[in-house]
A and B are shown apart, each in its own frame.
Chain A
Amino acid sequence: MRHGKYPFIVGFLFLPILLYVGLVLWPYAQTFGYSLTDWSGQSQEMNFVGLDNYTKLLGDEVFLGALWHNLLLLAVLPVATILIALFFAFMLNVGGKGGTGGVQGVAGAAFYKVVFFFPQVLSIAILAVLWQAVYRSDGAGLANGALIELGLGDPQHPVEWLNDPNLVLWCIMGVLIWGGVGFYLVLFSAAMQSIPKDIYEAALLDGAKRGQTFFKITLPLLWETIQTAWVYLAIVAMDAFALVASMTPGRTYGGGPDHHSELMSTYLMRNFLAFGEAGYACAMGVVIFFFTLILSVVSLRVTRRERIEY
């Protein structure tokens, strides 16, 4: 059997590697290539322009603004989502009153788990429609309607949530967090359930309170899962395209009002499809690619800890 081993392995790997190279690596390489041209995106003709697109990017205020918005998302989204998801996961799995039954979640934990996971089941298109109804700019919107009913809003001048330069990005962030918490809740729950109960029971016997068990036991044992979640969420923060493109004002792919919710991805798409500047858009794509890559590597390195076996 020995001499047949390598052909056997190669036979299995050939197709996946071919697909990976053809559908992932090659397009990336092409994007790099196109980013050095003035390709319009609609024809087969293009000229080599060297690094012109990249120097142009550095002076493009809209792009720099978009980069800043992405960084803001990056700073807030993962932390907020993970904290909320962790809190809920802890409450649903081990946060309940100890009692005689040992370690358990709060009452109705199974029900809450389904409720929290629900946004994850809906497609992003439905989320966008749903939240547009919430953020609607007149009294018919859920948010404005509630404010007006409570006497906090003025029906003649309702809050124009998504058309308010100071609110629009936070509105989008709210939807992203709301939609993401459920998934990470389930992820963290699964990880928590694999922590042996006797560890908690031992802690309880020693008189540990909920907070102590969380910080001394749960958090350290969940570290690897949290790390993974952070990388995923960082990637979402670097993208976040669909919600901005569909919910915010703007000529094509949102980003408004007046670029106040512009992201690198929406600006990329507008240049690629609406402005016929595909070469320039590819340069943005390359920048996003490197940002995401560096972020993933850095976050995995920085958060690396010793693995705890149990």
Chain B
Amino acid sequence: MGSATEYNRRDIFKRAAAITVLAAGSGSLLAACAGGTSSNDSKKAGEYNLKDAKNPFGVDAKKGLEVFIFDGGYGKDYLAAFAAIYAKTYPDAKIDQQADKDITGKLQPRFNAGSPPDVIDDSGNKQIKLDVLAKDKSLVDLAPLLDAPYIDDPSKKVRDVLMPGTIESGTIDGKVYNLSYAYTMWGLWFSGKLFKDNGWTVPKTWADFITICEQAKAKGIAPLAHQGKYPYYINVAILDMIAKQGGLDLMARIDKLDPTAWDDPAVKTAVEAFFQVVEKDFLLPGTNGMTHTESQTAWNQYKAVFIPSGSWLENEQLASTPADFEMTFLPMPSLPGDKLPFEAIRAGSGEPFVVPTKAKNVAGGLEFLRMMLTKEASGKFAQAANSLTCLKDGVGPDVQLKPGTKSTVVALKAAGDKVFNFQYPNTASKFDEDLQNASGELLAKRITPAEWIKRAKESATKNKSA
């Protein structure tokens, strides 16, 4: 899930000064933290009694639990609710609740010292990359959790109650290392009010989309905004068009860094179609240099019609969204010859929760994750964080949803099983960055679609062998 990487409010500035010190010391300060002593007391997977619905992992009721979450687009209010659920069963355990925007800064030294927290929501711009952690064998294989009895209905296993794609997004090299808890959808967003006022109908094809863009431009509204300082967002739109045109096979080949994937004619068709928004000058003036906050706020002020983002957008923009804005989700419009239907959307579980192998209370960590998957916890999360969770039907009718979230529920229902998700942002950090840089250049009209494809192919080749 690239999701989590992006929707935090980048508090780079606060960190900048501290980082300078580190950089000036050539990373030496950080290096000094490494190579500490290790205190490894994790269990082997076979030692769990998965038949026991009450306590499958053998939690020591007195042992403390430290939970560290990313304090980003979903806030941190849900953590207290989760802790209360854990405390109901284990009142004697002292639960240490922590939340921070800077996961790497706070936790990398602790990983290096061999004393990480028991549960981590490893998310945000300063996420410790999961592929890196998995490669180092720093994360507990979550297979026992998936095979453990489901708390609300012990006749089922945990893996049976998860949304499709959840297990896939937790998988690295064939093993499941994280529980991606928040269910996120990506696509374009628009204001229902703006559409109503102008008498536009929701575009299902790219041709219709372009028509609306032309009409908007004629009325003096910029058709498309994007978070140009972080080309992650526009990459969602471009790559979704490629996936829809080329189908799931092509997506899988891109994820595997297969360089020949970029020779597929679907890539050319999709990127050239997308490039119309640049050629026809549909972009909000200055949007290529804007942060997510600047561009999304401009969009909230009706300065632009569409903006790409994930479903955290509503929660993130709560403060600047007008009451009658009617935030609405739109899947990427279709091109002729698309292999996936218009309704197909990029969706998946984000917000990866992990249990480190060197945690002091691995059993407690796994149990905490199991409790997060109860309907009670899922509802609490939906209320506090305005987001669905990876629990199937995890949000009951008693939970009041905002317009944007409501529109995602509708879109998700329409999509059915036509849900896809790219894995490369999680599994190939460097390729992701190259692709983002290329998209930044494409949107600024400094390179052509052909050059964009060439760059993607080169990067795939380079990072495949590395």
State the A residues within 8 Å of B (CB). Answer: 23, 26-28, 30-31, 34, 39-45, 123-126, 128-129, 135-139, 141, 144, 155-158, 160-163, 165, 239, 241-243, 245-246, 249-253, 256-259, 265-266, 268-270, 272-276, 278, 281-282, 284-286, 288-289
Assembly CA distance A70 to B432 (angstroms):
25
Interface check B396, CB cutoff 8 A = no
Q: Do A276 and B14 have beta carbons less than 8 Å apart?
A: no
**Which of B29, B32, B36, B229: most chain A Cβ within 10 A?**
B229
Of B108-116, B164-172, B271-279, the stretch lying at the interface with chain A is B108-116
Interface check B133, CB cutoff 8 A = yes
* Given contact pairs A27-B28, A136-B286, A155-B285, a sample of 5 additional A-B residue pairs in the complex whose CB atoms are under 8 Å apart: A128-B16, A160-B289, A165-B446, A278-B31, A285-B25
Interface check B232, CB cutoff 8 A = yes
Assembly CA distance A163 to B441 (angstroms):
9
Of B66-74, B135-143, B200-208, the stretch lying at the interface with chain A is B135-143
Q: Do A160 and B288 have beta carbons less than 8 Å apart?
A: yes
Q: Do B437 and A256 have beta carbons less than 8 Å apart?
A: yes
Assembly CA distance A165 to B445 (angstroms):
12
**Which of A28, A41, A158: most chain B Cβ within 10 A?**
A41
For chain B, residues 19 to 47, give those with C-beta under 8 angstroms from any C-beta of chain A: 19-20, 22-32, 34-36, 38
Which residues of chain A are within 8 angstroms of B26 by Cβ–Cβ distance? 28, 31, 268, 282, 284-286, 288-289
The one of A26, A34, A40 that contacts B135, using a Cβ cutoff of 8 Å: A40
Which residues of chain B are within 8 angstroms of A156 by Cβ–Cβ distance? 281, 285
How many Å from the CB of B439 to the closest CB on chain A?
Answer: 10
Assembly CA distance A239 to B21 (angstroms):
10
How many Å from the CB of A127 to the closest CB on chain B?
Answer: 9
Which residues of chain B are within 8 angstroms of A274 by Cβ–Cβ distance? 129, 429, 433
Which residues of chain B are within 8 angstroms of A27 by Cβ–Cβ distance? 25, 28-29, 31-32
Q: Do A163 and B24 have beta carbons less than 8 Å apart?
A: no
**Which of A44, A141, A161, A282: most chain B Cβ within 10 A?**
A44
Assembly CA distance A45 to B28 (angstroms):
18
State the B residues within 8 Å of A (CB). Answer: 12-14, 16-17, 19-20, 22-32, 34-36, 38, 104, 108, 111-112, 114, 125-126, 128-129, 131-133, 135-138, 228-232, 281, 284-290, 294, 298, 429-430, 432-433, 436-438, 440-441, 444, 446
How many Å from the CB of A213 to the closest CB on chain B?
Answer: 38
Assembly CA distance A197 to B138 (angstroms):
68
Assembly CA distance A45 to B128 (angstroms):
17
How many Å from the CB of A41 to the closest CB on chain B?
Answer: 7
Q: Do A138 and B285 have beta carbons less than 8 Å apart?
A: yes
Instruction: Given A246-B13, A275-B430, check contact A30 B28 (CB 8 Å).
Output: yes
5 closest A-B pairs by CB: A285-B26, A137-B289, A138-B286, A276-B132, A27-B28
Which residues of chain A are within 8 angstroms of B432 by Cβ–Cβ distance? 251
Instruction: Given A163-B288, A265-B23, check contact A273 B131 (CB 8 Å).
Output: no
Q: Do A242 and B17 have beta carbons less than 8 Å apart?
A: yes
The one of B34, B108, B137, B440 that contacts A257, using a Cβ cutoff of 8 Å: B440
How many Å from the CB of B35 to the closest CB on chain A?
Answer: 6
Could you name 13 residue pairs across A and B whose Cβ atoms are closer than 8 Å? Answer: A30-B32, A42-B108, A44-B35, A137-B228, A141-B286, A156-B285, A160-B289, A246-B16, A249-B229, A250-B229, A269-B27, A278-B31, A281-B27
How many Å from the CB of B8 to the closest CB on chain A?
Answer: 12
Assembly CA distance A288 to B36 (angstroms):
26
The one of A28, A141, A246, A258 that contacts B437, using a Cβ cutoff of 8 Å: A258
**Which of B34, B38, B125: most chain A Cβ within 10 A?**
B34
Q: Do B31 and A34 have beta carbons less than 8 Å apart?
A: yes
Instruction: Given A28-B28, A42-B138, A156-B285, check contact A242 B132 (CB 8 Å).
Output: no
Q: Do A275 and B28 have beta carbons less than 8 Å apart?
A: no
Q: Do A245 and B35 have beta carbons less than 8 Å apart?
A: no
Q: Do A31 and B112 have beta carbons less than 8 Å apart?
A: no
The one of A28, A251, A257 that contacts B444, using a Cβ cutoff of 8 Å: A257
How many Å from the CB of B121 to the closest CB on chain A?
Answer: 17
Which residues of chain B are within 8 angstroms of A265 by Cβ–Cβ distance? 23-24
How many Å from the CB of A135 to the closest CB on chain B?
Answer: 8
Q: Do B23 and A268 have beta carbons less than 8 Å apart?
A: yes
Q: Do B27 and A44 have beta carbons less than 8 Å apart?
A: no
Assembly CA distance A282 to B28 (angstroms):
8
Q: Do A245 and B16 have beta carbons less than 8 Å apart?
A: yes
Q: Do B17 and A124 have beta carbons less than 8 Å apart?
A: yes
CB-based nearest B residue for A132: B291
Assembly CA distance A45 to B147 (angstroms):
30
Q: Do B289 and A161 have beta carbons less than 8 Å apart?
A: yes
Which residues of chain B are within 8 angstroms of A249 by Cβ–Cβ distance? 228-231, 289, 440
Instruction: Given A125-B16, A269-B23, check contact A285 B28 (CB 8 Å).
Output: yes
Which residues of chain A are within 8 angstroms of B136 by Cβ–Cβ distance? 40, 42-43, 45
